[in-house]
Amino acid sequence: MNAPRRKPEPPQPPHRARAPKFLLPVQTWLLRHAQAALGALGRFLSAPLAAVTSLMVVAAAAALPALLYILVENAERLLASWEGTGSLTVFLKTEVSDDAARKLARQIEKHADVDAVQVVGRKEGLAEFRRLSGFGTALDALGDNPFPAVLVVRARPSAAEAGRTAALAEELGKLPEAEVAQFDLDWVKRLLGLTALAERATAVLATLLAVGVLFVIGNTLRLEIRARREEIEITALVGGTAGFIRRPFLYWGFWLGLLGGLLGWVLAEIALAFLDGPASHLASLYGSAFALSGGGFRLFAGMVGGGALIGLAGAWLAVFRLLEIAQPE
């Protein structure tokens, strides 16, 4: 007799690793927040016109101080490079000829703190002044050339970094052929003072605009809460906690601030690219290769992260005040 056949065993479901019990509350908490975040983003983007209007307000408020910050930072970088050039000018006496000036220049070039010396002769100085000033007729009436020979002395970088340029100017000013040696960086210091003032003004403007954004987000959320009053009341009646009701609105403000900061950074970079061409052209007229540079990742992170925090703060303030009104009696 044939042996009875065994029924095939049903396939076993694949074994799934279960998370430890102490991680389950964390997973549940993360899942709820992820659902609230994605739901708030979807609801925010479901009204494109209102979303774009709110984003442009936040983006403009973020882009303006960011652009000012970038310009001030570039100005400080440019002035710092001018401050460390270590260049000075020696005006010779009018009786010193161009040949004597070139001979003196060769002697000065042997100085340990001198990198190079450029001689601007009397005729060259007169021709340059005639070309730039437009007082050619008045100069012809003078007869003799009133311009002295000039030595443009460039100190070595080591001397400039050590602060010996002023001492070098004083030393060259005592030469018998020299009328005066000028190392005047007061105008650079004045401009640095103005940039410090502009930096402080930028910080004040950014603070005021951030407060304005808080009010904008608060007012926008007030309208959103009033529009969803019935939904909030029903959620509260079926047992929804205050935290559960608040969560979507907080993420709504978070997304508004984050996307507004991101859009503001894009606007600031576009404006910077628009200004880069004229700035580079102006620098080339002065023989400089200076070019505008952006704020880099630090500015990007500050605008996006700061926008998200401001949006979250504005939503927090609005929600805690208005949810009490929306709660059922």
In the chain the first and final C-alpha atoms are separated, in Å, by 82
Q: What pLDDT score does 92 carry?
A: 87
Which helix (H) or strand (E) element contains residue 73?
A: helix 48-83
- DSSP string of 198-216? HHHHHHHHHHHHHHHHHHH
Q: What angle do CA 123, 146, 169 make, to 5 degrees?
A: 85
Q: What pLDDT score does 184 carry?
A: 61
The answer to whether the beta carbons of residues 117 and 154 sit under 8 Å apart is: yes
User: For residue range 80-124, what is the model confidence (pLDDT) as tens digits?
Assistant: 666 555 678 888 888 888 888 888 888 888 888 888 888 888 777
Average pLDDT, the chain: 77
Domain boundaries, the chain: 35-81+189-326, 87-182
**The model's pTM:** 0.62
Q: Which amino acid is at 236?
A: A
% of the chain residues with pLDDT over 90: 4
User: For residue range 54-87, what is the model confidence (pLDDT) as tens digits?
Assistant: 888 889 888 998 998 888 888 877 776 665 556 7
Distance of CA 176 to the CA centre of its chain: 50
Q: Which CATH architecture has domain 87-182?
A: 2-Layer Sandwich (3.30)
* pLDDT (mean) for 210-216: 85
Alpha carbon of 163 to those of 81, 88, 156, 180, 188: distances in Å?
14, 13, 11, 20, 15
The answer to whether the beta carbons of residues 51 and 217 sit under 8 Å apart is: no
pLDDT for 328 beyond 70: no
Give the residue carrying structure tokens 């700035």.
279
d(Cα 266, Cα 246) in Å, to the nearest integer? 31
114 - beta bridge partners?
A: 155
Q: Mapping DSSP to helix (H, G, I), strand (E, B) and coil, where does residue 178 land?
A: strand
Confidence of residue 1 (pLDDT cuts 50, 70, 90): very low
Q: What pLDDT score does 264 carry?
A: 92
* pLDDT (mean) for 214-231: 79
Pairing, β 178-182 against β 150-155: unpaired
Q: Which residue has the higher pLDDT, 287 or 44?
A: 44
